[in-house]
Amino acid sequence: MPLTDVKCRNAKGKTSPYKLSDGGGLHLLVNADGARYWRLAYRWHGKQRTLALGVYPAVGLTEARAARDDAKRNLAADVDPSVVKRERKRAADIAIGNTFEAVAREWHENWKGGRTPYYAGQILRRLEADIFPAIGRRPIAELEPPELLDMLRKVEKRGVNETARRLKQLVGQIFRFAIVTGRAKRDPSSDLKDALRAAGEPQRHRAMPMLELPTFLKRLETYGGEQQTKLALKLVTLTFLRTTELRAGRWNELENLDQNSAQWRVPAERMKMRLEHLVPLSRQAVAVLHKLRALAGNSPNIFPSPGKEGCMSSNTMLYALYRMGYHGRATTHGFRAVASTILNESNLFNRDWIERQLAHVERNEVRRAYNAAEWMPDRRRMMQWWADHLTSIAGGNVIPLSQAS
């Protein structure tokens, strides 16, 4: 007699396992502990076999009968139902392992070998911030252009069209990796070629007008935000370093802080041109670093932060400028242009010294001939003059503009 759901629900465990038959080889196996399992008995090329169809009540009677009928159709087509089940499980396992996030992390692990740790980390953070939350759990082979476009539209709504464009390129790299490794058939990001908004004119780093510099320095002295941020802004004006080069600095990169030969040796992997860079440290810069040392405690980072990177975030100084009233009028990177202009117009320093201190290197320069310490005495004198000049225009009256120490 066929089973009923009531009979299945009321089946209790006995001293030994027993079966409740539903017909056509389908039966409910009831264990001594009361656990109930659907099983299908069938013959394959003369041999008796058993196929597991699930656990009751997670798999109900109707579902178990449908699975039996499906198995019977496979048998009629001379296909072993056990083989079909294994293939389905394998496909499901592959699908789980082939989510966009899983493939992307595999791609990143393979790709990062020839990149600097900082750049590799930057790309992973980009994936984790904008891509994984949107499509990370989706099987990569099932993703379609509209899903990608929806993800990128959200980025565009933040007003960062160029970031959306770069994310599209990143997604394309991951899809191409998925294709050559057999996890996807095509790259749907290629269909978005004309779908994204135009990036517009390149966003250049806005430099503060030189006439505004004295006012800015005075405002900085009275800045009421985080002391670490205030000191970071002071240091960026004194060193010409880019934001990334400065904020990720570590104490072991500083040399001879208590001597006249104090310098900051920035490693190649953090420099834009991937060449080690030396920054002669003025007396003012050293004083700022001593204050930062007291704030940093035992951290190996000059600007420690509890975030993922372990150091100050990329926007901390920029947002401080906004709070000081310089939104749209200045960026931290723009201080480099201000320093370059003032130093060149002073006619006191060789242009090569200025360019080397700004870490401007011709791309076709032979790297093995590059000398990070070139013109170091002259650069040291220039950097001290610059620091004294900033002190002077902020109200300290250290030296007149026309003299170099």
Residues annotated as part of the active site: 242, 272, 333, 336, 360, 370
Query: Cα 350 from chain centroid?
Result: 40
Per-residue tokens: 133: 């939350």
Give dist(CA 207, CA 184) in Å, integer.
46
Q: Which residue has the tokens 């980025």?
A: 155
Per-residue tokens: 234: 């002071």
Task: Tell me if the bond preceding 57 is cis, omega within 30° of 0.
Answer: yes
Beta-carbon neighbour count of residue 183 at 10 Å? Answer: 22
Give dist(CA 279, CA 254) in Å, integer.
9
Q: Which residue has the tokens 């060149």?
A: 344
Q: Which of 300, 302, 299, 337 is closest to 229 using CA atoms?
A: 302
Q: Which amino acid is at 17?
A: P
Decide: 385 and 350 in contact? Cβ < 8 Å. Answer: no
In DSSP terms, 28 is beta-bridged to 20, 38
The C-alpha torsion from 305 through 306 and 307 to 312, rounded to 10°, is 0
Decide: 306 and 314 in contact? Cβ < 8 Å. Answer: no
Q: Which residue has the tokens 């004194």?
A: 238
Give dist(CA 43, CA 279) in Å, integer.
80
**Where does residue 282 fall: left (phi above 0), alpha (psi -120 to 50 degrees), or beta otherwise?**
beta
